[in-house]
Amino acid sequence: MENKTTILNLTEDEFVHSGTRACTGCGLSIVYRMGVKALGKDSILVVPPSCLTMLQGIYPVASAKLPSINVTFASTGAAATGVRAAMKALKKDNVNVVAWAGDGGTGDIGIQALSGACERGEDLIYICYDNEAYMNTGVQRSGTTPKGVLTTTTPIVGKLQEKKDIPAIIAAHGIDYVATASAAYPLDLYDKVKKATTLSGTKYIHVHTPCPPGWSFDTRYTIKIGKLAIKTGLFDLYEIENGAFQLTGPSKRLVGKERKPVTDYFNTQGRFKSLDEEMVKTVQDQVDAKWANY
């Protein structure tokens, strides 16, 4: 998919009030603002505990202009299924029912309800913002934390296991639309969410989302670091539509070109400081092998 939306034709409609409880430089605040812009007013959000619940605010101080239901971690996919059923009963089929969760809430704690919704082909959009740890409770490792990363529960040597590939797990359910996106490419994210609103069945979008305090970088570098994840080939932008995989936007343009070394990305963040040369070489080899396939 080539991007249709540019900064010149992007809608000026906003569904987030100015001023949120997110940290300065939070990648999620970009993802959220662009995501709800693309969803539009006829949308209901279903959100489990996460930084997003904080960003949206606690009554009576709310940053979101859309109706939003806070649910338990394990129930997100089931709760969204219930909201869709309610919309059907009310003959409001035009409403976008959107489950929106963090990586821990999606890939670890809420995966069974999400898997059930995918298997049933529920008419939902599911957006996972992946900041690669349980940030809201103080940076604990999650299934999607990359190998070697320092968190409060993987101190000194970093996480020992590989990052869990959630979009691949969701794609294995055979749903019609799976996409990845990045906070650093907001218009690409906008177009993918917009596309999801036009499709029926279960749609899943996984968004790489830099987090200054959790990743240990200065708040001004959110976009730079998000872009480096793509330009090093560590995180790839793609769509899987009706089973057909294709790289999109900046990742597609990288095919056959020289990628930046993964060290350019690792060196920008304190969370990678325990990586030794051997681990860096292993990651670089893995990325090279993946791209040789592309």
Ligand X SMILES: Cc1ncc(C[n+]2csc(CCOP(=O)(O)OP(=O)(O)O)c2C)c(N)n1
What's the rounded Cα separation, in Å, for the pair 132 and 163?
9
* 143 binds ligand X, rule: CB under 6 A: no
Least Cα distance to 179 among 198, 143, 171, 187 occurs for 171
* 133 binds ligand SF4, rule: CB under 6 A: no
Which C-beta is closer to ligand SF4: that of 22 or that of 109? 22
* 211 binds ligand SF4, rule: CB under 6 A: yes
What's the rounded Cα separation, in Å, for the pair 18 and 152?
32
- Could you tell me the smallest distance in angstroms from the CB atom of residue 120 to ligand SF4? 30
184 CB-near residues (< 8 Å, 6+ apart)? 27, 208, 210, 222, 223, 224, 225, 226, 227, 229, 230
Contacts (CB under 6 A) with ligand X, residues 33-72: 49-52
Amino acid identity, position 189: L
What's the rounded Cα separation, in Å, for the pair 135 and 98?
22
Classify residue 7 as exposed, middle or buried by CB count within 10 Å of its CB (0-12, 13-18, 19+): exposed
DSSP string for residues in 116-160: HHHHHT-SEEEEEEE-SSBTTTT-B--TTSPTT--BTTB-TT---
* 16 binds ligand X, rule: CB under 6 A: no
Which span (99-107, 163-171, 217-225, 277-285) binds ligand X, by CB under 6 A?
99-107
* 73 binds ligand X, rule: CB under 6 A: yes
What are the start-end ranges of the E strands in 186-282? 202-208, 238-241, 244-247
Which span (18-26, 76-84, 266-274, 277-285) binds ligand SF4, by CB under 6 A?
18-26
Q: Judged by CB under 6 A, which of 25, 104, 167, 226 binds ligand X? A: 104
- Could you tell me the smallest distance in angstroms from the CB atom of residue 260 to ligand X? 26
CA dihedral 140→111→144→192, nearest 10 degrees, is: -120
Contacts (CB under 6 A) with ligand X, residues 213-272: none
Choose among ligand SF4, Mg ion, ligand X, none what residue 233 binds, the Cβ cut-off being 5 to 8 Å by kind.
none
Q: Judged by CB under 6 A, which of 78, 135, 149, 196 binds ligand X? A: 135
Interface residue list for Mg ion (CB under 5 A): 102-104, 131, 135
Q: Judged by CB under 6 A, which of 29, 142, 232, 284 binds ligand X? A: 142
Q: Footprint of ligand X on this chain (CB under 6 A)?
A: 49-52, 73, 101-105, 131, 134-137, 142
